[in-house]
Amino acid sequence: MRVRSFLMIVLGSYLLFQLLLGGFLYLDGISPAAIALFLVFAFSMPVYLNLAFVRKWPRPLWMMPLFFGYFFMSAVTSLALGLLWGGWWTTRHPHLVAHSGNPSRSVQLALLSVIWGIFLSVILKNHLRGPRVRERVLTVGHLASELEGLRILHVSDLHVGIFESDRSLARLRAAIESISCDILVFTGDMIDRKLPEIDRFLHFFGDLKGRLGVFCVLGNHEHWIDGPAIVSRLEQAGWPVLENASRRIPLGDHGITLVGLSDPSSEEPGGDGPDPEKAFLGVSLTDGDAVVVLAHHPVLWDLLSSYPATLTLSGHTHGGQIGLLRSGWTLASPFYDYDLGLFSRETASGKQWLLVNSGTGYFGVPVRIGVPSSLEVVVLSAGPSGS
């Protein structure tokens, strides 16, 4: 794969860590059969996930916490090995660590400080700098002149909750306000764990405006908390919530239609689940128009190849929060076919685009390494030749 050497280091550290853990469990009196079972599972899981990604085998999400564990445990093992090596090296070169009663400990502490300093500065940089703004011009065939240059600001996965301070939310609001846009959309996971967080979200973002409006769909977190209650709070605040629904904005003789698809998590008792037929009721793609779909989970794009969906905006994956963007590999890659960034395909009704936003917030751990928080701006264009 594209980052084979990196994965080999992580995988090697992981296997070593599991072997050490197995040895510890044996000394602790755990039966060899139970340890063998544990080791088979621990060794096969990352190998399976990477193979499954390539060969399209099932990649259940319950494996994700284990996968995060796999990554962090590997990092810890590498760190421990680094410290051991540092200790061994200083016993061989005591003259290089002068004036120290315990040279190996000094170097270990220095190594530890440097490694954690790098980690912390990368993590803090994302917290303090705020989201990266990325602007993309999308060429849409036969786009009407009224839609030329239309700017859509896409915000996703804020996760307003324990990991977001008032200061970071104010900074995010300022970043959103600093970007000129015609339409502002939020694709779910506005809040994280509790219903009152929607009031905090509205306190910071409720009065934001786009020239042609602000629209949203819910994410899995809103549905887990209380989907109907959150829809009603957002609608009271004047936000159209497009749950399997659409809204057309006329622009001269043409127009742009926004379609919202409910998240798969809304299939819980009492919910509809994603229903493209209902969402696209009365929606047609006449020449010159554009249809923009809001769908929290990018897997929903698979349902849309026979619908007039010019551009689908998604979030949910957070780009894994950790990854090597230049290589295209993120912690989300083994779990999602559309993990991050722009995808396209040709269909009978023309070219379709999918944009997966890495979001602005955090899930699980308040850490982003290599996958920064993002605000995405999409500019529609007919291309160099015009419509």
Of 23, 54, 39, 48, the C-alpha closest to 329 is 54
Smaller CB separation from Fe ion, 234 or 382: 234
Q: Residue 346 and residue 361: Cα distance in Å, rounded? A: 32
Q: How many CB atoms lie within 10 A of CB 145?
A: 14
Smaller CB separation from Fe ion, 107 or 371: 371
Size of the site for Fe ion (CB under 5 A): 2
- Contact indicator for 267, 222 with CB cutoff of 8 Å: no
Smaller CB separation from Fe ion, 157 or 164: 157
Stretch touching Fe ion by CB under 5 A, among 54-62, 121-129, 184-192, 269-277? 184-192
Q: Residue 185 and residue 23: Cα distance in Å, rounded? A: 52
CB of 189 to Fe ion, least distance (A): 3
Judged by CB under 5 A, does residue 222 bind Fe ion? no
CB of 298 to Fe ion, least distance (A): 12
Is the backbone of residue 53 left (phi > 0), alpha (psi -120 to 50) or beta? alpha
Judged by CB under 5 A, does residue 157 bind Fe ion? yes
Judged by CB under 5 A, does residue 339 bind Fe ion? no
Smaller CB separation from Fe ion, 157 or 263: 157
Q: Residue 349 and residue 285: Cα distance in Å, rounded? A: 9
Of 379, 378, 380, 382, the C-alpha closest to 187 is 378
CB of 170 to Fe ion, least distance (A): 21
The residue ranges of DSSP E strands in 156-289, in sequence order, are 183-187, 213-217, 245-251, 254-261
Contacts of 360 (CB under 8 A, 6+ apart): 131, 155, 156, 157, 158, 172, 373, 374, 375
Stretch touching Fe ion by CB under 5 A, among 20-28, 102-110, 157-165, 275-283? 157-165
CB of 217 to Fe ion, least distance (A): 12
CB of 157 to Fe ion, least distance (A): 4
Smaller CB separation from Fe ion, 144 or 332: 332
Considering only 182, 189, 339, 376, the residue that binds Fe ion (CB under 5 A) is 189
Smaller CB separation from Fe ion, 127 or 221: 221
Which residue's CB comes closest to Fe ion?
A: 189
CB of 201 to Fe ion, least distance (A): 13
Q: Residue 214 and residue 201: Cα distance in Å, rounded? A: 14
Write out the residues near Fe ion by the rule CB under 5 A: 157, 189
